């Protein structure tokens, strides 16, 4: 089923004092000079998910000029019904933003993923294969959230109890029952996180295999998750066995973890391994262009897998992706997006980058628009 954003309204958001877009059921191409606000619009859409958007910025930094608040409103049509989703933040009112879905006010961030699922590719991800393992874990967890809406909450809860265990071990002040209870929570949250990641990756790898040798321009990515806890999970078909082994290892590592002031086992130690399958070389040794191609392959596979899993297409955000591709690659990416039948929001400085889409993309030129008040209605 084709889901798309039919309306987007921004109030006091970044460089837009007021922006009102009414949109067709097609991909959206945002065109304009650097600094006109293309990425700000992409970011605003990404904020309609749990977290702080594609830039991970503070909400207080997203307000227009010196305004104390911002508001974002979207209307999503999923082929059956329209869903109204809004979020607002006020510096003077609270450090937490408010969310409204249809007529339901004060809903949680977690509920956003029940209606609007987003997968993004931005320039900040270009270094993911050569960056730190933590950055790669965040990359894979963002994709996992798209499949399992509870994953973001699991991550927050897991991080909290791991910090608690580290503090208890560091201060040597916890009684045995307290520490045992904390470790039980770590095990419960940790195994579920590993299970979510592996289920997601299985679905994505299936789509990557489907596209192999099919004449696709982009390289085939071979993706795996590696770590001690992954080995425990994969070697035990009974999840309770995995939990018992995990619990025992945490108990046995207390002394060493106390000296190191860290927890040495868990999903926070997972490593994402990506290989350029045709060349049989790891992604971190690939050229910049090859790494970009591998990223695109993974993101497209994730979109296809998400659509099959949920029965509805996610929204795809592509920030400055087309600008760094040659003509053949642009044509290939455009064809992939059209074949998947997903709404992509794309940014570029040149409208010519979207020629392959023809009438199947809607180009919005942001050059010289009035950012204090701008209305655009698709006819």
pLDDT in tens, 232-284: 999 988 899 999 999 999 999 999 999 999 999 999 999 999 999 999 999 99
Of 304, 239, 315, nearest in space to 48 by CA:
315
In CATH, what number is assigned to the domain containing residue 192? 1.20.1050.90
The proportion of the chain whose per-residue pLDDT surpasses 70, expressed as a percent, equals 98
Average pLDDT, integer, range 48-77: 93
The proportion of the chain whose per-residue pLDDT surpasses 90, expressed as a percent, equals 76
Q: Extract long-range pairs of 225-228: CB within 8 Å, 24+ residues apart.
A: 225/140, 225/197, 225/198, 225/201, 225/270, 225/271, 225/272, 225/273, 226/270, 226/271, 226/272, 226/273, 227/267, 227/269, 227/270, 227/271, 228/265, 228/269
Both tokens of 357, joined, read 């889409």
Of 139, 61, 148, nearest in space to 97 by CA:
61
**Are 286 and 166 within one domain?**
yes
- The domain boundary residue, chosen from 289, 309, 329: 309
Average pLDDT, integer, range 295-311: 96
- The domain boundary residue, chosen from 255, 289, 309: 309
With cut-offs at 50, 70 and 90, classify the pLDDT of residue 212: low
Q: What is the pLDDT at residue 216?
A: 65
Average pLDDT, integer, range 208-222: 78
**Are 130 and 65 within one domain?**
no
Average pLDDT, integer, range 129-153: 94
Which one of 72-81, 263-272, 363-372 scores highest in mean pLDDT?
263-272
Q: What is the pLDDT at residue 214?
A: 52
Contact 268, 137 (CB under 8 A): yes
**Are 157 and 284 within one domain?**
yes
**Are 158 and 54 within one domain?**
no
Q: Are strands 271-276 and 82-90 parallel, antiparallel or unpaired?
A: unpaired
How many angstroms separate the CA atoms of 9 and 12, rounded? 10
In CATH, what number is assigned to the domain containing residue 19? 3.40.50.300
Full 3-state SS string of 169-226:
HHHCCCCHHHHHHHHHHHHHHHHHHHHHHHHHHHHHHHHHHHHCCCCCCCCCEEEEEE
Q: In Å, how far from its chain's centre is CA 374?
A: 29
**Are 163 and 265 within one domain?**
yes
The owner of tokens 């860290």 is 262
Which one of 85-99, 108-122, 213-227, 241-255 scores highest in mean pLDDT?
241-255
**Are 153 and 292 within one domain?**
yes
Q: What is the pLDDT at residue 215?
A: 52
**Are 158 and 258 within one domain?**
yes
Range of the domain at 360: 1-117+312-379
Neighbours of 200 (CB within 10 A): 24
Question: Mean pLDDT of all residues in the chain?
Answer: 92
- The domain boundary residue, chosen from 287, 309, 331: 309
Please give the model's pTM, rounded to 2 decimal places.
0.94
**Are 268 and 371 within one domain?**
no
Contact 168, 174 (CB under 8 A): yes
Average pLDDT, integer, range 31-58: 95
**Are 353 and 254 within one domain?**
no
pLDDT at 205 over 80: yes
User: How many domains is the chain partitioned into structurally?
Assistant: 2
pLDDT per residue over 184-203, tens digit each?
999 999 999 999 999 999 99
The owner of tokens 């730190």 is 132
**Are 257 and 139 within one domain?**
yes
Give the length of the chain.
379
Q: What is the pLDDT at residue 263?
A: 97
**Are 257 and 301 within one domain?**
yes
pLDDT at 358 over 80: no
**Are 103 and 164 within one domain?**
no
How many angstroms separate the CA atoms of 162 and 268, rounded? 9
Both tokens of 246, joined, read 């995990």
The owner of tokens 């990359």 is 139
Q: Most distant CA pair in the chain: distance in Å?
A: 68
Q: What is the pLDDT at residue 104?
A: 82
Bridge partners of 27, per DSSP, are 361
């Amino acid at each position: 089923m084709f889901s798309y954003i039919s309306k987007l309204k921004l109030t006091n958001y970044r460089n837009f004092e007021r922006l009102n877009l009414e949109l067709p059921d097609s991909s959206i191409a945002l065109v304009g000079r650097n600094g006109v606000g293309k990425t700000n619009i992409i970011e605003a859409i990404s904020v309609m998910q749990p977290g702080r958007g594609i830039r991970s910025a503070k909400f207080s930094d997203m307000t227009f000029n010196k305004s104390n608040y911002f508001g974002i409103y979207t209307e999503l049509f999923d082929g059956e019904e329209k869903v109204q989703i809004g979020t607002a933040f006020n510096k003077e009112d609270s450090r937490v933003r408010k969310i409204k879905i249809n007529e339901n006010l004060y809903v949680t961030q977690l509920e956003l993923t029940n209606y609007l699922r987003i997968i993004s590719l931005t320039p900040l991800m270009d270094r993911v294969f050569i960056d730190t393992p933590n950055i790669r874990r965040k990359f894979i967890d963002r994709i996992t959230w798209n499949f399992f809406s509870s994953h973001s909450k699991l991550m927050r809860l897991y991080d909290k109890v791991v910090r608690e265990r580290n503090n208890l071990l560091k201060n040597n002040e916890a009684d045995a029952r307290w520490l045992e209870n904390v470790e039980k929570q770590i095990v419960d949250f940790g195994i579920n996180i590993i299970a979510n990641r592996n289920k997601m990756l299985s679905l994505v790898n299936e789509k990557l295999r489907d596209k192999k040798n099919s004449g696709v321009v982009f390289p085939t990515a071979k993706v795996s998750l590696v770590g001690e806890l992954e080995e425990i999970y994969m070697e035990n078909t009974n999840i309770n066995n995995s939990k018992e082994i995990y619990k025992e290892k945490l108990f046995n590592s207390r002394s060493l973890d106390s000296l190191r002031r860290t927890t040495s086992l868990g999903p926070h130690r997972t490593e994402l391994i990506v290989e350029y399958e045709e060349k049989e070389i790891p992604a971190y040794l690939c050229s910049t262009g090859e790494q970009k191609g591998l990223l695109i392959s993974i993101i497209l596979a994730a979109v296809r897998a998400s659509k099959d899993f949920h029965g509805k297409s996610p929204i795809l955000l592509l920030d400055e992706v087309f600008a760094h591709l040659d003509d053949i690659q642009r044509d290939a990416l455009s064809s992939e997006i059209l074949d998947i039948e997903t709404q992509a929001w794309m940014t570029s400085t040149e409208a010519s980058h979207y020629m392959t889409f023809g009438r199947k993309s809607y180009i919005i030129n942001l050059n010289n628009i009035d950012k204090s008040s701008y209305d655009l209605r698709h006819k």
